[in-house]
Amino acid sequence: MLVKTRGSIGRRRLLCLSASAIGGLALLTACGGPGGTAAATVASPTTATVAPATAATTTVQSGAPSTGATASVPAAATAPPAGSATAFSVFLPSTGALVAGWKLLVPQFQAANPGLNVQVSPTVDVTKLQTVIAAGTPPDVTHFDRYLVVSWAVKSLFQPVGDLLRAVDPAKTFLAPAVKEATYQGKLYAMPQDTGIRGLFWNVSQLQQAGLDAKKGPQSWDDLDHYAQVLTQQGGDPSTQRFGFLPWISNWSNIGWIWTFGGDYFDDKAFKPTINRAENVQAYDWMLGYAKRYGTPDALAKQGVTGNLLQTFGQNARLSMVAAHWGLTADLAASASSLQYSGGVVPHPSGGQNGTWQGGFSFARPAGGKHPEAVQQLYQFLAETPTQVTYYQATHQLPAALAALDQVKQTIQSPGQIFIAQLPTAHWRWPYTDVMNTALNTAANDVLSLKTPTQQALDAAQQTLLAQYADYWGK
């Protein structure tokens, strides 16, 4: 299906759509929604009670990248008088795209639970959240980037939540990758909230003009490289040159290409990094081939071919194909450019696999948090299909709950549905991925800038990470 976009850029988060110059973004968490999210969403120790509807609203700050606009969590229409109900503290994001969902859901949860006095606190950084946990004054529940959950659980900063989700049954209710991402030693430490997925987008007009299949796109690994060569136009003015495909300009990230080649960056059984696996070297060598053929990331960035996908792929059409988060569809719909695009699954080489990966947010229970009954009520409310659908409609964050996902995907046009079909088998990020991804990006920078041979760069990253893992995990 061909999609044509026209409009103006709205107040959407662009982090998932703006890759770093080298090797894609380090780690896009969630990247569950249209524009993605920041790596760590945590909350400040300051709390503010959600007041009755006639009172002022409580303004809170999200851990997601700010677009400069600030929104507020609304008053709960039926919030009980102070002192008459159990104070229930929740740390929520509220700037960027996520605020619209919580503006709807906070009052609904309060109205359905008059015995609770829901309190909302602004999100800030991990240090402050650790501080309030250490001080014994944590929230009852915090909105948290799912791939960071296990790193916090191993330090006893979060409590297991499996007992509070018995009525929900996570294994049957949520996407398996989302559950696995928040599980450590057989225990679930956070309830999945939303998710995201990745695939290949292409400019329909450019493929048609080049005599390529604009309906199906590249179907094989050889096709991907062939399409990239045919679509590239490097003659003339460097500021107008076009490139068929550049693997480091994407929201696929280095971990995605590692998975695409059949590799991995972590051994779960041995519980250690595996950065310098042979397949990983092959993935980096393949990216290096593009840098040698078309120019290094730094050189191309000077020509205006940057990681801002809305400009490079959308508005300026300097890139014909890009591996990106499915939410690019929503951002293109709101972009200032007019673009016909389509999309599908990213091909993989022989011996490789579909490298697509999911990410998203969750609700964790900090150590020392009280009111388990209230947490259980919140979890049940958030897992309900109407709640998840409402949140999706307001934020474009795909539901992590299977029933809700089945419902909303019927309203999503292609290529979104092709992307979503990959979710049940998508990869999830390993514990401490934020640190590992920093090492992977450093290695990519050294390799793609032609400074360091691939094996040497990945060997160095491996040694660095082995020491960091041993220090953090004691393993």
Residue 304, number of CB atoms within 10 A of its CB: 15
Considering only residues 117 and 37, tell me which one the structure prediction assigns the higher pLDDT. Answer: 117
Please, where are the H alpha helices in 57-169? 99-112, 126-134, 149-153
3-state helix, strand, coil in the chain (%, to 5): 40, 15, 45
Q: Report the share of the chain in percent with pLDDT over 70.
A: 81
Helix (H) or strand (E) holding 361: strand 361-366
| DSSP structural state of residue 184 | E
The model's confidence at residue 333, banded by pLDDT at 50, 70 and 90, is: confident
* Separation of alpha carbons 113 and 81, rounded Å: 13
List where CATH 3.40.190.10 sits in the chain: 3-31+200-348+431-473, 48-196+359-425
What confidence score (pLDDT) does residue 65 get?
Answer: 26
Query: Lowest-pLDDT range, 218-222, 403-407, 432-436?
Result: 432-436
Q: Which CATH number fits domain 3-31+200-348+431-473: 3.90.700.10, 3.40.50.2030, 3.30.930.10, 3.40.190.10?
A: 3.40.190.10
Mean pLDDT, residues 251-265: 96
Query: Lowest-pLDDT range, 67-81, 104-118, 142-156, 242-256?
Result: 67-81
Mean pLDDT, residues 73-89: 61
Q: Cβ distance 23 to 253 under 8 Å? A: yes
Considering only residues 368 and 97, tell me which one the structure prediction assigns the higher pLDDT. Answer: 368
For residue 404, pLDDT over 80 is answered with yes
Considering only residues 76 and 324, tell me which one the structure prediction assigns the higher pLDDT. Answer: 324
What confidence score (pLDDT) does residue 53 get?
Answer: 27
The model's confidence at residue 354, banded by pLDDT at 50, 70 and 90, is: very high
* Separation of alpha carbons 312 and 91, rounded Å: 36
Sign of CA dihedral 345, 348, 351, 357: negative
Mean pLDDT, residues 286-313: 95
Mean pLDDT, residues 330-342: 81
For residue 44, pLDDT over 80 is answered with no
Query: pLDDT by residue (tens digit) across 183-217?
Result: 999 999 999 999 999 999 999 999 999 999 999 99
What confidence score (pLDDT) does residue 85 get?
Answer: 87
The chain-wide mean pLDDT, for the chain, equals 83
Mean pLDDT, residues 397-405: 96
The model's confidence at residue 80, banded by pLDDT at 50, 70 and 90, is: low
For residue 355, pLDDT over 70 is answered with yes
What confidence score (pLDDT) does residue 263 get?
Answer: 98
Phi, psi (deg, nearest 5) at residue 253: 75, 165
CA 131 from centre of chain:
26
For residue 71, pLDDT over 90 is answered with no
Q: Report the share of the chain in percent with pLDDT over 90.
A: 67
Query: Lowest-pLDDT range, 48-52, 246-250, 303-307, 317-321?
Result: 48-52
What confidence score (pLDDT) does residue 78 get?
Answer: 45
The model's confidence at residue 470, banded by pLDDT at 50, 70 and 90, is: confident
| Architecture of the structural domain at 48-196+359-425 | 3-Layer(aba) Sandwich (3.40)
Q: Cβ distance 138 to 366 under 8 Å? A: yes
Look at the block and give the residue holding tokens 């979710």.
Answer: 423
* Separation of alpha carbons 70 and 60, rounded Å: 8
Query: pLDDT by residue (tens digit) across 424-469?
Result: 999 999 988 888 989 999 999 999 999 999 999 999 999 999 999 8
If we measure between CA atoms, which residue out of 358, 355, 359 comes closest to residue 257?
Answer: 355
Length of the chain: 475
